[in-house]
Structure 1
Amino acid sequence: MYLHYQLVTLNVLNRFGICDRGRIMLKAYEDYKTFLIDKDELRRRIRFSRINREALTHTILKCVQVMRANPAECRYGESIIESCAEMMTIGDEDREPEPLRFLNFPSEVRRMIYQYCFHQKAKRGGTNDVYLARKKPSCGCAYFENADSPLERNELALAHTCSRLHEEVMSYFCDAKTLKFSCACVMRKFLEENRMLRGAIRHINFHWCGPAADQSILQLGSLHLKSLTVTISRATTKRITAREEEFRRYFTSKKRGEVALTDALGIDELLSLCGIPNVAVQHPDRLMAPKLLTSDRISLENMLQAKLTLPRKGE
């Protein structure tokens, strides 16, 4: 069989009077035979172009006419007819349907799908916050039902498909959602049990309270957060730092006074954080917040915004 390069070299195409479109199709056939294009691409060029199919028919008729007039050209004509016939056969073949694989979509398309899935709740009047403590924690910390925005079961159904999708979906989920914790105890337990997910967490909102608030807040230093919201209440000052406990052993005046936020357990660990662009302090319920806590909230927010937004060492 003679391919396009050989036919051009031997000047066969000019002698046979093959049209330009016919030459293009013979070149495409050569590319198919030399693995420059696949069978599907050749099929598309034939099936979706009426001009290309007519060029194959015209090329076969030209070859028949030349072979009748000059039998010496039969070997070239047969080769061209055979090539055209094979191309027409390929064009008539029915392509086997391939399964539509989600992972074959471009990453941009997959991110659009994730965005649609995770933001539908907000469009229905909900919130992009996810309250991970759906039940009252056993640690006895304060729990606010009004702030509860539980994770819907079907929101992360896509993440359980396979390991690759789990990593990709959870990474986008943590970047799009704010993880809310009813207390520092729940936050600590979640971070310890989901070590593989810690690197993807970007937004956290937690209620500052609990017997292990200092150790819980300390774990936030290993995260690369974009935003941190600290919720304060009367429960925040129920436990004090070891330093304040030492002072109260010797300064009797402190025993009678109220505990300030600057003495609450975890304040030192909270001020040690850095590299967080957006920091805020809020109350669980603004309407029920005492005036004293409102003043402390503003002061604490100003202080955290001045300290926590500083860049990390080495950045």
Structure 2
Amino acid sequence: MAPRTDSHTLQMKNLHQRYGLSKNIIQLFTALDEHRRGVSDPDALGRRLRMSRQMRKSCTDTISSLADQMQKNPTPACVAECTMLISGCTDMLKLANEPRQETFFPFLRLPPEIRRRVYQFYFCTLFTSDEPGSVVIIANAKARCQCPPHESRRTMAAPRIKMPLCYAARLIKDEVLAAWFESQLFHFACCCELNDRLKMNANLRNNLKSLRVHWTGNMSAEAFKLLKQVSTLKELTILISKSTTNASSSVPCVSDREASFRVHFSSRAPPRLCDALGYDELVALRGLDNVYVEHVQGRQAIRRTYEERHSLELALQANIIG
């Protein structure tokens, strides 16, 4: 282990007075001691000497002065002390002459729990106009369907989010996107949009945890079939409206069984929620922690009755949760 060369040790041994050490060299010896103990930046001492001619000159002058002291007083104690100080000066000059090595923080060596915590802090900086932690709307082109879109005010408040961190490395990109899809609640305007996103985005399909979707559209059955393959899904909120069973005013959006009945029984009552397209696929989901049913905003579609909402929520909770 290298001997201590901090200012306190030099003053305790009275080396600064006996050998006439300047203030600059005492500061450098203190920095050298911190460098050896790993307290300071590894490149700080070398950078300090490279940027200051006076500091470098203090090292060379001290070496010459200590060599003269050993010639004048060649005692074992004097030679040992001067050799220690000269060795420290030469070490500092070596640090100054070494080419600077670009070092990077070994981020990927951190435990996964710490990396995920860092990602959560990073996500908080992605929001500018909207509050963090609110519902996320994927601000891409909407699916090509006739379903009612998101409210315009919400679409305007959902700008395209840029994540420069995803361009750092492929492994970091996969971890960031996985943490992003796991930590956010995603809202889809219809099942057609949900179906398209699950097909196109593998990260969403493999990491989606919380979902909010308006149950409407001709792709409801296909969307819920894909949703069954999302093993990470834990929370689901279904929004219902009159458009859940009526894709348009004239064409009912119902299951194949109900559609076959209506061919021969034209006087049947308006379709129920249990006859809606995708109901069988929806109740086939398993392993969720929370399931909710809510009414859609009145500005988007006509609402259903509160009894229907409550009955559907009980049916889904009985089949899906657990």
TM > 0.5 between the two? yes
Change in 2 beyond 3 A, CA 1:168/1:149: farther
SS at match of 1:130: coil
1:177 is aligned to 184
| 1:192, distance to aligned residue in structure 2 (A) | 0.9
Range moving further from structure 2, 229-238 or 57-66 = 57-66
Structure-1 separation of matches of 2:135 and 2:98:
47
Among 200, 205, 219, which residue is 1:193 paired with? Answer: 200
Alignment of 1:82-121 (within 5 A): 82-89=86-93, 96=100, 107=115, 108-118=117-127, 120-121=128-129
1:226 is aligned to 234
Range moving further from structure 2, 234-243 or 138-147 = 138-147
Change in 2 beyond 3 A, CA 1:203/1:264: same
Verify the 8 A CA contact 2:235 2:290 in the aligned structure 1: yes
Change in 2 beyond 3 A, CA 1:86/1:309: same
Verify the 8 A CA contact 1:229 1:282 in the aligned structure 2: yes
Change in 2 beyond 3 A, CA 1:277/1:65: same
Report the TM-score when normalising by structure 2.
0.65
The answer to whether residue 131 in structure 2 is matched with residue 123 in structure 1 is: yes
SS at match of 1:228: strand
SS at match of 2:288: coil
Question: CA-to-partner distance for each residue in 1:39-82, whole Å, 9 max, x for gaps?
Answer: 9649659x8xxxxxxxxx99998886565344678975674354
Report the TM-score when normalising by structure 1.
0.66
The answer to whether residue 293 in structure 2 is matched with residue 267 in structure 1 is: no
Structure-2 separation of matches of 1:72 and 1:85:
20
| 1:195, distance to aligned residue in structure 2 (A) | 2.1
Structure-2 separation of matches of 1:37 and 1:157:
32
Verify the 8 A CA contact 1:128 1:176 in the aligned structure 2: no
1:53 is aligned to none
Change in 2 beyond 3 A, CA 1:220/1:305: same
SS at match of 2:236: strand
Structure-1 separation of matches of 2:295 and 2:15:
75
Alignment of 1:285-296 (within 5 A): 285-286=297-298, 292-296=304-308
The answer to whether residue 225 in structure 2 is matched with residue 211 in structure 1 is: no
Change in 2 beyond 3 A, CA 1:139/1:292: closer
Name the % identity.
23
- In the alignment of these two chains, the number of paired residues is 277
Verify the 8 A CA contact 1:184 1:210 in the aligned structure 2: yes
Change in 2 beyond 3 A, CA 1:143/1:186: same
Change in 2 beyond 3 A, CA 1:292/1:69: closer
Letter in 2 for 1:142: P
1:139 is aligned to 145
Structure 1 unaligned blocks of 5 or more: 6-17, 48-56, 311-315
SS at match of 2:207: coil
The answer to whether residue 283 in structure 2 is matched with residue 277 in structure 1 is: no
Structure-2 separation of matches of 1:72 and 1:217:
87
| 1:84, distance to aligned residue in structure 2 (A) | 2.3
Change in 2 beyond 3 A, CA 1:294/1:42: closer
Structure-2 separation of matches of 1:109 and 1:20:
48
2:257 is aligned to 243
| 1:235, distance to aligned residue in structure 2 (A) | 1.4
Give the RMSD, CA atoms, in angstroms: 4.7
SS at match of 1:129: coil
